[in-house]
Amino acid sequence: MVTPAPQADVLIIGAGIAGCAAAYHAARRGRRVVVIDAGIDCASTVPTALINPVRGYLARHSPDDVAGARASFALIDVLRAAGHPVVSGRGLWRPVPDVEQRDIWAAQLPGHIAHSWTEGHTLEAVLRGPWVATLYLPDSGWVETASLLHALRSESQAEFVTGEVVGVDAQRRSVLLGAGVRVAARELLWCGGAFGAARIAGDARFRPGSVLECEERLHPDAVSYGLYSAPHGAGSVVGPSTEAQYANYPPAWDAEGPEARLVERARKVFRQALTVRSIWRGVRLESATLPEGLTDLGRFGSRGYLLAPRAAALWAERL
C-alpha cells in the first residue's frame, strides 16, 4: 500500500546540504516538501566547510566549481537578508612551497577567477615555512554548516521526518521506510549520503574522515595547503584526516591512527599551539550505483557546500 506524503509535492531523501538546499529551492517555487532523513553519519555536519573552486595541489577548477562558489555565497547573502545569522567568511589563502608549483598554479588560473599573489612567506605568523608565495582567493571562503542548514530548513518550511529508507521505487516515486510504511509524492529526489546508500545502493564506496575543533583562532580567513584551517566559533577547525576508502558500511574506523596523525600534522604546519577541544567524525559517500530511474542530487564528495546549492537550484527549475 502506498501512503501519500501529507500534502507533499516533493519527497526528498536526505537532509544534508543537498537535501536542505533542494527543499529550499523547491519551496521557493511553491512546492510542498517532505524531507526524510535518518540523521546518522551525515558528512554535511562537518563544523566548518570550505567553499573553494580552486582545489588540490594542481589548483584544479572547472566552470561548475566557479559557478557553484558564486551560487553558494549568493544563497548565503539571501538567507542573511531574510534575517538568518548564517556564519561565513570570504577569503582563502593558499601558500605554495616552491617556484615550480607557483608557476603551475599561475598557469592554471584564468582571469575570470579573482586572485592575487604575494611573494614570500606572508602567513609567517600562522604557518611554519618555508613558502615562496601565497595565492589569495577573495571569492573563496568558508561557512559554519549548522547555521546554513538551519536557515535552509527554516526558510523551506518543509516537513522533516526522521526515518530510515530501506527501499526505493523510482517508477512509483515512493520509498519504503524501516517501519514498513511506503510513502510517495509526485516528485522524488535522492540526496542521501553514506547511511542511506548502504541500504539501497550497489557498489557503494565510503570514506570516513575527521576534523579537529581547536580553541585557537588561527586566522580570520581560511588557509589551505594539504590541511586546511577555517574559523569556527571563537576557535578554528583543522583537517581533514587522510583515511582509506571502504566498500563496507560503516567503514573500519581506526580509533587513534588517522586522528593522531592529523594532530601531529597540524602541529607541524601551524605555528600556534593547538588545543583540541573535540574531534568531529563523519562518513562520506564516494560512489554508488543507485536504483535505475532515481533522480540523484548527491555524491558531491568533499565539494558539497561548493556544488550542492547550485545543483539544487538547477533541479528546482526543472520541476
DSSP string, 155-222: HHTPEEEE--EEEEETTTTEEEETTS-EEE-SEEEE---HHHHHHH-EEEEEEEEEEEEESS---SSE
Residue keyed to cell 614570500: 120
- pLDDT tier for residue 4 given thresholds of 50, 70 and 90: very low
* The model's pTM: 0.94
- For residue 311, give the CATH number of its domain: 3.30.9.10
35 HSE (CA, 13 A, CB side): 27
Above pLDDT 90, what percent of the chain? 69
Task: Concatenate the DSSP letters of all residues of 105-139 into one string.
Answer: HHHH--TTS--EEEES-TTTTTB-S--SEEEEEEE
- pLDDT tier for residue 256 given thresholds of 50, 70 and 90: low
Q: What is the pLDDT of residues 161-218, one digit of tens each?
A: 999 999 999 999 999 998 888 899 999 999 999 999 999 988 899 999 999 999 999 9
Q: Which H/E stretch holds residue 94? A: strand 88-96
Distance in angstroms (rounded) separating the CA atoms of residues 26 and 61: 28
Cell numbers found for residue 91: 577569503
User: If we measure between CA atoms, which residue out of 300, 299, 282 comes closest to residue 290?
Assistant: 299
Whether pLDDT at 261 is above 70 = yes
Task: Concatenate the DSSP letters of all residues of 268-312 into one string.
Answer: HHBSS---EEEEEEEEEEEEEEPPTT--B----GGGHHHHHHHHH
Distance in angstroms (rounded) separating the CA atoms of residues 26 and 11: 10
Above pLDDT 70, what percent of the chain? 97
Lowest-confidence segment of 10-24, 110-124, 166-180 by average pLDDT = 110-124
Position 87 scores a pLDDT of 98
Whether pLDDT at 253 is above 80 = no
- pLDDT tier for residue 255 given thresholds of 50, 70 and 90: low
Whether pLDDT at 108 is above 80 = yes
Query: 23: Cβ–Cβ under 8 A, 6 or more apart, which residues?
Result: 10, 12, 15, 33, 35, 152, 153, 156, 158
Q: How many domains does the chain have?
A: 1
Cell numbers found for residue 20: 536542505
Position 89 scores a pLDDT of 98
Are 88 and 148 in contact by the 8 Å Cβ rule? The answer is: yes
> For residue 160, how many other CB atoms are within 10 A of its CB?
17
Q: What is the mean pLDDT of residues 114-141?
A: 90
Q: What is the mean pLDDT of the chain?
A: 91
Are 284 and 304 in contact by the 8 Å Cβ rule? The answer is: no
* Domain interval for residue 14: 2-317
Lowest-confidence segment of 87-96, 147-156, 170-179 by average pLDDT = 170-179
User: If we measure between CA atoms, which residue out of 212, 213, 194, 214 comes closest to residue 204?
Assistant: 194
User: If we measure between CA atoms, which residue out of 34, 261, 284 comes closest to residue 160?
Assistant: 34
Distance in angstroms (rounded) separating the CA atoms of residues 72 and 88: 11
Question: At 45, is the secondary structure helix, strand, or coil?
Answer: helix
- pLDDT tier for residue 257 given thresholds of 50, 70 and 90: confident
- pLDDT tier for residue 151 given thresholds of 50, 70 and 90: very high
Q: What is the pLDDT of residues 236-248, one digit of tens each?
A: 999 998 888 999 8
Query: 63: Cβ–Cβ under 8 A, 6 or more apart, which residues?
Result: none
Cell numbers found for residue 40: 546518522
Q: What is the largest CA-CA distance in the chain?
A: 67
Q: What is the pLDDT of residues 38-79, one digit of tens each?
A: 988 789 999 999 999 998 888 888 899 999 999 999 999 999
- pLDDT tier for residue 6 given thresholds of 50, 70 and 90: low
